[in-house]
Amino acid sequence: MAERATRRVIAYFIMERKYSRFAELGIAEGKTLKSILKRKPAISLLDEYYAVDSWEEYHGHLKEEWEKYYYEIKEFTKKFPQLKVLRKTTLEAAKDIPDGYLDLVFIDADHSYETVKADIIAWLPKVRPGGVLMGHDYNYSSVKQAVNEIFSQVSKPFARKCWIFEVSKNYFCKIKYVPLFKKMSFLYGEP
């Protein structure tokens, strides 16, 4: 789960860039989600907030705990109609979102190397030019390995555990993973 500084970075992007479509991967008990929902300027700009998690047994939490978290998050949809809770794996949910549709995607789900890499590959095309793909826990060796294998360079803001990749033609040259580079070039034109 993202620490306070990372939650501020997310809110900053939403408010400063007037982003209206956001996906958060890895909700768990919803600390980041609750933080964004509490920020009136940020939540008022969002037309769609996709909360993606399978809420399955993970990190020693029992199924009952995950069920409780899931239903707590679902309750927020009553007050925030822009909140769309997708109880799926991140890769299943990516199939539901059109390419180039989102302004901001935040990856904080399974931190294994394979899953982080798969999430980046699946979700980067979902971000429109001018948008941002960002993730948490860059201090984990598995996350850092996946990120560095795909990108030659990412930004690291003051939220030290965070990594950011700006989606624009100028930055496509920083995509080292050739199939993803080709897909992004196909979607948005050659850099």
Closest residue by Cα to residue 114 from 95, 87, 86, 91: 91
Looking at residue 31, what is its pLDDT? 93
Q: What is the pLDDT of residues 116-152, one digit of tens each?
A: 999 999 999 999 999 999 999 999 999 999 999 999 8
Average pLDDT over residues 158-178: 77
pLDDT value of residue 98:
97
In the chain the domains, ranked by start, together with CATH numbers, are: 4-188 (3.40.50.150)
pLDDT tier, 186 (very low <50, low <70, confident <90, very high otherwise): confident
pLDDT digits (tens, 9 = 90+) for 10-52: 998 999 999 999 999 999 999 999 999 998 889 999 999 999 9
> Which of 27, 83, 34 is closest to 56 using CA atoms?
27
Residue pLDDT, tens place only, 49-93 = 999 999 987 767 778 889 999 999 999 999 999 999 999 999 999
Across 161-166, average pLDDT: 89
**Cβ-Cβ contacts under 8 Å for 80 (sequence gap 6 or more):** 37, 43, 49
pLDDT at residue 171 is higher than 90 = no
**CB-based contact 6:87 (threshold 8 Å):** no
Q: What pLDDT does residue 9 have?
A: 86
Answer for the pair 33, 3: CB distance below 8 angstroms, yes or no. no
Confidence label for 2 from pLDDT (cuts 50, 70 and 90): low
